[in-house]
Amino acid sequence: MTSQTTENPEYIYDLTVKDAKGKYVNLGIYKGKVLLIVNVASKCRMTNLNYTELNQLYEKYKGQGLEILAFPCNQFGEEEPGSNDEISEFVCARFRSEFPIFDKIEVNGNNASPLYKYLKLGNWGIFGDDIQWNFAKFLIDKDGQVVHRYYPTTSPLSLEYDIKKLLE
Ligand SMILES: *[C@@H]1O[C@H](CO)[C@@H](O)[C@H](O)[C@H]1NC(C)=O
């Protein structure tokens, strides 16, 4: 197996991440899809509505080429303490999420996953490029360009207009 990461990827499709079972997934399999990438927390008090709305978006638009990629992260208030299996079970059992939940990662700091280093390049939030909290959202067009970064407080359903435009 090649290494998990590419240090200076030119395209998001050059990156490889791990799924919840530890298997490597090259993001190249998502070429031609509109991607919504979210750092999630399962045990966060405010998570329910985010998951519910993400599910609604996925149900409505997966047939048209939307993929939602969720990455558990425990850098925010230790709200995501479970193992990958627990996280998948939680999301699947409680919310019947069909979108993939990947391996737990860090999104800020030196150990941030190469995917998040890439996503944050040139996409600033209120704390520089740091992710502020769970449920920051990135929208990637069919050519792999990171076109929007949304705050954690932006509700998934309010992205619908932008997603529809990218799917056209
Ligand atoms: C999603 O989660 C963020 C961060 O916890 C929160 O600020 C926001 O209100 C939540 N949105 C919804 C729609 O639940």
Read off the CATH number of the domain in which 125 is found. 3.40.30.10
What residues are labeled active site? Answer: 44
**How far does the centroid of ligand 1 lie from the alpha carbon of residue 3, in Å?**
34
Whether residue 114 is contained in a domain is answered as yes
pLDDT of 143 reads 95
Query: pLDDT tens track of the chain, all 168 residues?
Result: 344 445 567 789 999 999 988 999 999 999 999 999 999 875 554 456 888 899 899 999 999 999 999 998 888 865 555 666 666 555 544 555 678 889 889 999 999 999 999 999 877 766 678 998 889 999 999 999 999 999 999 999 999 999 999 999
| 7 lies in some domain | no
Q: Is the CB of 46 under 6 A from ligand 1?
A: yes
Residue 6 lies in a domain: no
56 CB less than 6 Å from ligand 1?
A: no
d(C-alpha 48, C-alpha 106), whole Å: 22
Best mutation site among 38, 40, 48, 50 for ligand 1, i.e. most ligand atoms within 8 A of its Cβ? 50
Q: Does residue 4 lie in a domain region?
A: no
- How confident is the model at residue 93, as a pLDDT? 46
- Please give, one letter per residue, the 3-state secondary structure of 62-100: HHHCEEEEEEECCCCCCCCCCCHHHHHHHHHHHHCCCCC
The pLDDT of residue 76: 81
Determine the distance separating the centroid of ligand 1 and the alpha carbon of 22, expressed in angstroms: 28
The residue count of the chain comes to: 168
Asked whether residue 26 is assigned to any structural domain, the reply reads: yes
Residue 94, domain member (yes or no): yes
* Domain tally, the chain: 1
Q: With a 6 A CB cut-off, is 158 part of the ligand 1 pocket?
A: no
Domain assignment present for residue 1? The answer is: no
With a 6 A CB cut-off, is 133 part of the ligand 1 pocket?
Answer: yes
Identify whether the C-beta of residue 96 lies closer than 8 Å to the C-beta of residue 153: no
pLDDT of residue 8: 65
Give residue 44's domain range: 12-167
Residue 47 maps to a domain: yes
Question: What is the pTM assigned to this prediction?
Answer: 0.86
Residue 49 CB–ligand 1 contact under 6 Å = yes
Q: What is the pLDDT of residue 150?
A: 94
